Amino acid sequence: MSYADKIQALLRWCQQQTDGYANVRVRNFTSSFKDGLAFCAILHRYRPDLVNFHSLQPADWLENNRLAFETAETLGIPALLDAEDMEVPEKLSIITYVTYYNLNLQGRRKASRSGSCITSSTRKATNRSSSDSADQEVTGSDTAKSTYRGNSRSYNASKNEAGSIPFINPWQFSRRSPQRPAAVCAQCGDPVFFLERHIEAGKLYHRQCHLEDRRQSLHRA
């Protein structure tokens, strides 16, 4: 599958996850994500207990993005963006970030479904065993077969679901390897890797350097 095909597959996944959510129409990886509602809708689809989507307003783009990024981080999704970055959305940064949503949230759903299939098959096997004590040896065999079938169904379901969304390598979208820097930091002059970068007033910084600079500015003030 080509680079362009994978981006389109990721876009379709976003459209599927946000389908039916008010004020959310994912058409691209820039303006469609600016107000933060698309991020929040995806998170709400998987974890409605963490995001009160229906209380959000499109105009509150800064707070919406802050909510999404903080919630995603609690789920193990790396914080690659700041809410302020979404004032001028950058396509490759959003593609890379959304790829982590796909990998993390899809993985959680498949793990949950796999566990429920195995638990269900084990419970059925136990019921058969208790209802037919006279044929314990046969029942034991049926139990093993039932557990095997449950595992097989779980594996096939996982395989089919994975097949519908092609594997996407976040580094592929950056067009850079993790070892190759994009440019140098305006603060310290050292190379800045893709996942470390922060852009402020047209200048490139390490995320940590920018935070330190802001702290020093506040302290001087």
Tell me the per-residue pLDDT of 5-24, one tens digit each, with 9 for 90 and over. Answer: 999 999 999 999 999 999 99
Please give the residue that has the higher pLDDT: either 1 or 137.
1
Per-residue pLDDT tens for 141-187? Answer: 454 444 434 443 433 333 334 334 555 555 444 444 444 344 678 88
For residues 15 and 173, what is the distance between their CA atoms, to the nearest angstrom? 19
pTM of full prediction above 0.85: no
The enclosing H or E element of 183 equals strand 183-184
Token pair 């379901």 is found at 157
Per-residue pLDDT tens for 19-74? Answer: 999 999 999 999 999 999 999 999 999 999 999 999 999 999 999 999 999 999 99
Is a pLDDT exceeding 90 seen at residue 195?
no
Question: Token digits for 164?
Answer: 């519908």
Which pLDDT belongs to residue 137?
Answer: 44
Which pLDDT belongs to residue 128?
Answer: 55
Give the distance from CA 175 to its chain's centroid: 20
Is a pLDDT exceeding 70 seen at residue 94?
yes
Contact 75, 104 (CB under 8 A): yes
Q: Which burial class, exposed, middle or buried, applies to 150 when counting CB atoms under 10 A from its CB (0-12, 13-18, 19+)?
A: buried
Question: Amino acid identity, residue 180?
Answer: R
Q: Which burial class, exposed, middle or buried, applies to 120 when counting CB atoms under 10 A from its CB (0-12, 13-18, 19+)?
A: middle
